[in-house]
Amino acid sequence: MEPAPDLCELYLRLMEAYNTGDRATVEEVLSRQAGMSVIGTAPDEWWSDHLAFASAVGGHVQEQRAGVVQALPGEPEAYREGTVGWIVARPIYRVAERGDVPARVTMVAHLEAGNWKMVQQHISIGIPNDEVMQRAGRTE
């Protein structure tokens, strides 16, 4: 494994595209290979088609432009091994009039024709284990 600053740049570019609704950049960065997936924080945010996800980015941006949500990318860490690379980061979702929501993101990228393409992304919001148990109707 070796550090991959170019993958950090890819992540930052993609986060900026999410914030601005830059669908062209999202389409450019996503792999078109079978198996590409993006999983967001909401139960219905699960895409396995690059065009469907690129379209969804435009919908999320309307909220962001209204000042409801802004994604601050955090400091990514990235590594690569051959033609595969991965990125981890702790972005912050700044929600107007409600504060900051810390999140976690993992991305996997693949080198395709000399360019890094995202093949997998998962964003989650950490919930303390005791809260998970309460939601499940159990306490420890």
List pLDDT tens digits, range 41-90.
888 889 998 778 777 776 665 555 555 678 899 999 999 999 999 999 99
User: Radius of gyration of the chain from Cα atoms?
Assistant: 16
Identity of the amino acid at 111:
L
User: Which of the four pLDDT bands, split at 50, 70 and 90, describes residue 8?
Assistant: very high
84-89 and 77-81: which strand pairing? antiparallel
pTM (predicted TM-score): 0.84
Q: Which ranges in 47-99 belong to alpha helices (H)?
A: 50-65
Distance between CA atoms of residues 79 and 68, nearest Å = 33
pLDDT of res. 63:
56
| Domains held by the chain: number | 1
pLDDT band at 23 (very low <50, low <70, confident <90, very high): confident
- Encoded tokens for 89: 């980061």
The burial class, CB within 10 Å (0-12 / 13-18 / 19+), for 85 is buried
Let me know if residue 36 belongs to a domain.
yes
Answer whether residue 103 is part of any domain. Answer: yes
What does the pLDDT average to over 102-129? 95
Residue 127 — pLDDT band, cuts 50, 70, 90?
A: confident
Is 140 domain-assigned? no
- Domain with 34, as residue range(s), is 2-135
Give yes or no for a contact between 106 and 122, defined as CB atoms under 8 angstroms apart.
yes
Residue 133: which pLDDT band, with cuts at 50, 70 and 90?
confident
The DSSP secondary-structure symbol of 30 reads B
* CATH code where residue 78 lies: 3.10.450.50
Instruction: List, in sequence order, every residue forming a beta bridge with 118; answer none if it has no partner.
Output: 30, 109
pLDDT at 137: 74
Whole-number pLDDT of residue 90: 98
Q: Which of these, 65, 64, 74, lies nearest to 123 by C-alpha position? A: 74
